[in-house]
């Protein structure tokens, strides 16, 4: 009966033709890649037709990129309502394992969209698509999808995943005072950039407020990021990556890169070890700082394990078996790993910055530490682990605190917004802006 109702609901809805551009996709590993893939698969399952335009992988990228075991095009090709195009790319200047589109002289987003004729155009990570993160050196050079949108009246929206203002400070060495000095120029660029789209969606209230102060236009909040709370579950404790290792485990999962502040974990670990001598820090992931972190970890000894990439039941086991997920990053928009840990029943200690504050409530499902403060991070971890009653209470509350971010709930809200935008575009007086 329930299945019949679901099928009836699907048939009552008109399927949409959705063109989706993404700056990152398999085999380029990251939260954006995984989120885009899950979003496309869900839309296909609802009967929508999706045309995915994703970065091309070529010989210029490190061999390690190719071996990343994340879902990609192959998993989607069984859907008859799916098609794709790999646009030409080159490696980013500051991060060779990530792609940047080549200039529009080499390919035309407008021509591709004219052939597909979508009802709506979605652009995930529009700044990277255009080439902002390399100051347009080889980037696409114009807003993706907007030329077609203006010609045809098709709604064109952007989805912001990354806080590029924060990233610029890590990769381009821009200090806080320099950022204030450059604020008028940056605000002008952001205003011009966001004016190109009908709506610019942010999944974090904090990031939305930040970019509004920088003169971003046509902005709104839309909770389009979530996780599969059935997949990430406390019952995954049955998967044990290191059998018989009963040490208190601190877990970090993510890219080993400057903007993630992984070095601060190694700064905090000796402070934690003075109170919890047998503590074990496990770092899951890879990235441009990996060799530096491995060298430092070797000096510390067996209390640090650099695990590398992890997928399947193994990563599910890590999330469920860890005592605490530690995330010192101050550049998070809406952190996926925070949600995955909480859904697995694992408390989170993270920096009081960005979207972290919308996921972690102190003494409810974890703790917020002072940004860029390894001492305070260490104190928060020690407080949690040394108090069994507090830890048990927070562990019990972790999963219920994140269920509102379940993927199916988020995607239904996302789909409803797409219908709203498409229907509004049909009206003669349609002006999203």
pLDDT bracket for residue 169 (50, 70, 90)? low
* pLDDT above 70: residue 170: no
Residues 6+ apart with CB under 8 A from 51: 17, 18, 19, 20, 83, 84, 85, 112, 116, 118
* pLDDT above 80: residue 69: no
* pLDDT above 50: residue 251: yes
Q: State which H helix or E strand residue 220 sits in.
A: strand 219-221
Task: Give the pLDDT mean for 157-172.
Answer: 75
- Give pLDDT tens digits for 419-429: 999 999 876 55
Residues 6+ apart with CB under 8 A from 389: none
The Cα-based distances of 320 to 56, 249, 262 in angstroms read: 35, 11, 21
Q: CB count, 10 Å around CB of 157?
A: 23
The CA distance from 163 to 134, in Å, is: 15
The CA distance from 122 to 158, in Å, is: 6
- Give pLDDT tens digits for 297-355: 999 988 999 998 888 899 999 999 999 999 999 988 899 999 999 999 999 999 999 89
The CA distance from 217 to 421, in Å, is: 17
* Residue 157, token pair as written in the block: 């929206």
User: Angle of helix 262-273 relative to helix 374-386, nearest 10 degrees?
Assistant: 50
Per the DSSP assignment, residues forming a β-bridge with 326 are 349
Domain positions in the chain: 2-226+407-426, 234-405
User: Angle of helix 262-273 relative to helix 290-300, nearest 10 degrees?
Assistant: 10
Distance of CA 143 to the CA centre of its chain: 21
One DSSP character per residue, 378-398 reads HHHHHHHHH-HHHHHHHHHHH
Model pLDDT, residue 8: 39
Do 205 and 223 form a contact (C-beta atoms < 8 A)? no
The CA distance from 224 to 336, in Å, is: 12
Highest mean pLDDT range out of 81-95, 134-148, 195-209, 387-401? Answer: 387-401
pLDDT bracket for residue 6 (50, 70, 90)? very low
pLDDT bracket for residue 175 (50, 70, 90)? low
| pTM (two decimals) | 0.86
Give percent above pLDDT 70 in the chain: 90
Do 280 and 318 form a contact (C-beta atoms < 8 A)? no
pLDDT bracket for residue 415 (50, 70, 90)? very high
Do 163 and 210 form a contact (C-beta atoms < 8 A)? yes
With vertex at residue 129, the alpha carbon angle to CA 411 and CA 162, rounded to the nearest 5 degrees, is 55
The CA distance from 287 to 98, in Å, is: 10
The dihedral over CA atoms of 217, 36, 423, 419, expressed in degrees to the nearest 10, equals -120
* Residue 21, token pair as written in the block: 């551009």
Give percent above pLDDT 90 in the chain: 64
Task: Give the pLDDT mean for 164-181.
Answer: 66
The CA distance from 381 to 253, in Å, is: 16
* Residue 363, token pair as written in the block: 């003494």
Task: Give the pLDDT mean for 96-112.
Answer: 91
Task: Give the pLDDT mean for 393-400.
Answer: 97
Residue whose structure tokens are 């700082």:
289
Residues 6+ apart with CB under 8 A from 154: 113, 118, 119, 120, 121, 148, 425
Range of lowest pLDDT (119-133, 177-191, 357-371, 385-399): 177-191
Model pLDDT, residue 210: 87
CA atoms within 13 A on the CB side of 22: 32
Average pLDDT, the chain: 89
The CA distance from 271 to 213, in Å, is: 38
Task: Give the pLDDT mean for 286-299.
Answer: 91
Model pLDDT, residue 10: 47
Sheet architecture: strand order including 249-253? 304-308, 280-284, 249-253, 324-327, 348-351, 366-369
Q: State which H helix or E strand residue 160 sits in.
A: strand 156-160
Do 385 and 250 form a contact (C-beta atoms < 8 A)? no
pLDDT bracket for residue 132 (50, 70, 90)? low
The CA distance from 160 to 139, in Å, is: 18
Taking Cα atoms as reference points, which of 176, 181, 216 lies closest to residue 199? 216
Task: Give the pLDDT mean for 47-63.
Answer: 94
The CATH T-level fold of domain 2-226+407-426 is Rossmann fold (3.40.50)
* pLDDT above 90: residue 64: no
Do 131 and 137 form a contact (C-beta atoms < 8 A)? yes
* pLDDT above 80: residue 177: no
Helix-strand-coil split of the chain, %, nearest 5: 45, 15, 40
* Residue 136, token pair as written in the block: 């347009």
Its CATH class, for the domain covering 234-405, is: alpha beta
- Give pLDDT tens digits for 271-281: 999 999 999 99
């Amino acid at each position: 009966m329930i299945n019949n109702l679901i099928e009836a609901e699907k048939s009552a809805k008109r399927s949409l033709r959705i063109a989706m551009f993404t700056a990152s996709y398999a085999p380029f590993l990251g939260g954006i890649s995984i989120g885009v893939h899950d979003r496309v698969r869900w839309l296909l399952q609802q009967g929508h037709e999706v045309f995915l335009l994703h970065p091309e992988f070529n010989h210029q990228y490190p061999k390690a990129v190719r071996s990343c075991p994340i879902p990609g095009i192959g998993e989607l090709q069984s859907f008859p309502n799916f098609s794709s195009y790999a646009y030409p790319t080159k490696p980013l200047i500051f991060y060779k394992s990530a792609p940047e589109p080549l200039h529009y002289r080499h390919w035309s987003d407008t021509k591709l969209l004219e052939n597909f004729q979508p009802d709506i155009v979605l652009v995930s990570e529009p700044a990277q698509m255009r080439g902002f993160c390399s100051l347009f050196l080889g980037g696409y050079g114009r807003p993706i999808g907007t030329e077609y949108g203006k010609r045809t009246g098709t709604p064109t929206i952007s989805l912001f995943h990354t806080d590029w203002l924060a990233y610029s400070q890590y990769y381009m060495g821009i200090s806080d005072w320099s950022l204030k000095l450059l604020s008028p120029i940056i605000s002008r660029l952001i205003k011009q950039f966001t004016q190109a789209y009908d709506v610019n969606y942010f999944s974090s209230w904090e990031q939305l407020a930040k970019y509004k102060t920088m003169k971003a236009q046509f902005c709104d909040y839309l909770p389009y990021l979530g996780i599969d709370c059935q997949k990430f579950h406390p019952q995954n404790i049955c998967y044990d990556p290191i059998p018989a290792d009963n040490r208190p485990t601190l877990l970090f999962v993510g890219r080993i890169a400057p903007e993630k502040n992984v070095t601060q974990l190694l700064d905090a670990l000796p402070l934690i070890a003075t109170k919890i001598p047998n503590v074990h820090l496990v770092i899951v992931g890879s990235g441009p700082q990996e060799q530096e972190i491995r060298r430092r970890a070797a000096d510390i000894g067996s209390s640090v394990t650099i695990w590398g990439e992890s997928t399947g039941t193994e990563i599910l086991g890590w999330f469920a078996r860890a005592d605490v997920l530690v995330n010192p990053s101050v550049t998070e928009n809406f952190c996926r790993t925070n949600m995955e840990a909480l859904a697995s029943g694992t408390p989170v200690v993270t920096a009081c910055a960005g979207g972290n504050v919308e996921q972690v409530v102190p003494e409810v499902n974890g703790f917020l530490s002072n940004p860029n403060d390894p001492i305070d991070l260490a104190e928060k971890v020690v407080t949690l682990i040394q108090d069994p009653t507090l830890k048990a209470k927070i562990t019990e509350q972790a999963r219920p605190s994140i269920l509102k971010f379940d993927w199916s709930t988020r995607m239904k809200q996302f789909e409803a917004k797409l219908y709203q935008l498409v229907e509004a575009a049909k009206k003669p007086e349609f002006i999203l802006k």
